[in-house]
Structure 1
C-alpha cells in the first residue's frame, strides 16, 4: 500500500487524467441511452406529447403491477419486438425497469434504431411505488 501511495504522489497528473477520462466516458454513455426523468416528469411528457411507457420487466413482474397503458416488452426481447414501437418513433418513449438499471442499455438500442425521443425513468418501478403512484394489475 505504501508503494501505491508513493506512486500516486509522484504520478498525480496521470491519476488526474485517468479520472477525467473515466468521468467523460460515464457521461458519454449516459447521454447515449437518453436522459433520465423523474416519474412526475415522465407522466407530464407522456400526456403532453402522446408518448408511451415501455415496461422492460418480465411478464410476472409486469402482471404484479404496472403503469396504466404501459407496453410490456421484456428487455431480452426488445430487439425482436422493436417494430411494436414503430408508431412512437417520433414520440416520447419512456423506458421503465425494476430499479432504473436495465433501461440504459435498452435506450441505447432504441436510439441506434432511430428513435428520437428516448428517456429512462430514474429509479424505475421502485421509485414509482415509493411515490405511491397508481398501478394496475
Structure 2
C-alpha cells in the first residue's frame, strides 16, 4: 500500500488521467444503457435471424435494392412509427434486428418500435457496413425481399 501511495504522489498526472478515463467509461456505459438499445454483433444477428427473428432494414428503398440481408423487411426509418404497428404486429414478441447502413440511423427506429410495444429490439453494431466487411451475404433487388 505504501508503494501505491508513493506512486500516486510521484505521478499525479497519470493518476488524474486514469481517473478521468474511468469516469468517462462509466458515463458512456450509463448513457448506452439509458438509450434502451442493445447492440448485437453480426454473429449474434445471424443466429437470431436463423431462429426466426425479424430483420428490419430501415434504409430507403433505393439503398435497400442495392443490397440487403436475405428475408429482411424494408421500412424506411422515417416511416417506422407509422407503418410498423400494423404490418409488423405479429413480431411484437419475437426478436427484431434493426439494420441501417452504419448503425446510427436505426436508433430512432428502435425507439419507435419500443414505443409501439416491441420488447426485444436490437441494432446491428456497425450496420450493413460491418456486415459487408465480414463478407456476409447480401441479396440485390426487390423480388426476394419482403416489402412491408
Correspondences of 1:47-126 after superposition (within 5 Å): 47-48=50-51, 50-82=52-84, 83-126=86-129
**CA shift at 1:135, angstroms?**
0.5
The alignment partner of 2:138 has SS state of: coil
Instruction: Show the counterpart of 1:136.
Output: 139
TM-score of the superposed pair, with normalisation by structure 2: 0.73
Q: Distance in 1 between matches of 2:58 and 2:137?
A: 18
**CA shift at 1:47, angstroms?**
1.5
Q: Distance in 2 between matches of 1:37 and 1:59?
A: 24
Q: Distance in 1 between matches of 2:75 and 2:137?
A: 20
Aligned length: 121
Q: Distance in 1 between matches of 2:25 and 2:125?
A: 25
* Bigger Rg over Cα: 2
Instruction: Show the counterpart of 2:32.
Output: 27
Instruction: Give RMSD over aligned pairs.
Output: 2.2
**CA shift at 1:23, angstroms?**
3.8
Unaligned runs of 5+ in 2: 1-15, 141-148
**CA shift at 1:52, angstroms?**
1.1
